[in-house]
Amino acid sequence: MSLRPRAHIHLANIADNWRILQAAQTNGVTAAAIKADAYGHGLPQVADALHEAGCDHFFVAHSHEAEVTRATLGSHPNIYVLNGPSPDEEALYRENALIPVINSSFQFRTMADWLVDGIKMPRGYVLHFDTGMNRLGLPPKDAHDLAEAGAAQDPILIMSHLACSEDSDAMMNGHQLETLKTISNAFPDTPMSLSNSGGVWLGPDYHFTLTRPGIALYGGGHPPEGADLKPGMTLEAPILQVRQIEAGDTVGYGATWRATEPRLIATLAIGYGDGFPRSASSKGFASLGGKRCPMVGRVSMDLITIDVTEAAELARPGVYAQLIGPDAPLEEQAALAGTIGYELTTGLTPRVKRIYES
């Protein structure tokens, strides 16, 4: 029996989540963000499952992620590289039919150099405009100039990225929407894309031609009531040892947690070396047979201690406790650790064994 922590990756759930998001898309199609190893779930496996479900548009951050996606899925789907092209990557983009997302004047000039002698990009390119994030993106004031400068090959998509989509009341959402509509005047026949996961739930005005959900595919984010997303992952770790402690005893580094009465403590084979955050110390929980067992003491590199007093009949070496999954919701666990679901899943290291389930 292995004593490694393990993550069951529920590919059917991820595919079902994509179908729910596609059903919510009123005007066009639903893409999939599979960057960062599909948010820690495994890029090749997730890409293949989503493609089988009908997804034809995939967004990654880096060109090497795009290469893996192309090798996995073959020639059919469109693969977009969000961080854009480097001048030395022309052959890579052409050979793999990748779609560069142009974020700056430097990247626009880079791509323009690739279009000399009328040799167009195989799948075209995307212009990304900054409508308020102030992170990546072209200035909206340059839209008309870029439309004229792109005469050698028109963009296949104009996109921007919502900064506050998880907050449906945020004024920034409406501001970004109106800014993108203004930009669209310079590209009257070009499809538009604005919505990430949160944007999908903002309604039809935000959907445009293509939505680009990420965390929602994996069961995370904050969907509205009735959008029954399923967990993409169940993270578990085995119990190594169970011990009885007495009132006044402390647990873990720094003796930060002290028992006020006799308690039963179990030690799990997982820690921040596996990607479970130290910030969850004495705040997070594990589930044992559906019973919540609070984390006590500090999360260390390889071990977490939990109070299993209320689940004593289940606590024994070799039994697996759940840290993310149906009994330990991703966003709740993340909030207790002072972070977000994205960081919990993308932060899991290779020490966590992935088990893929269709």
Give the list of residues 6+ apart from residue 183 with CB closer than 8 angstroms, or none: 129, 131, 140, 143, 158, 160
Beta strands in the chain (DSSP E): 6-10, 29-30, 32-33, 57-60, 78-81, 99-102, 126-128, 157-159, 192-193, 210-211, 233-245, 250-251, 257-258, 263-268, 285-288, 291-294, 304-307, 320-324, 353-357
Beta bridge partners of 78: 57
Our answer to whether residue 125 is catalytic in this structure is: no
Catalytic residue (one of 230, 253, 320, 356): 253
Map tokens 């960057």 to a residue: 35
Catalytic residue among 35, 39, 80, 272: 35
Q: Contact 143/187 with Cβ under 8 angstroms?
A: yes
Q: Phi, psi at residue 356, to the nearest 5°?
A: -95, 130
CA distance 68 to 87: 20
- Residues 144 and 138: their CA atoms lie apart, in Å, by 12
**Amino acid sitting at position 126:** V
Rounded to the nearest 5°, which phi and psi values hold at 304? -130, 140
Half-sphere exposure of 338 (CA within 13 A, CB side): 7
**DSSP-assigned letters across all residues of 172-190:** HHHHHHHHHHHHHTTSTTS
Judge whether 35 counts as a catalytic residue: yes
Catalytic (active-site) positions: 35, 253
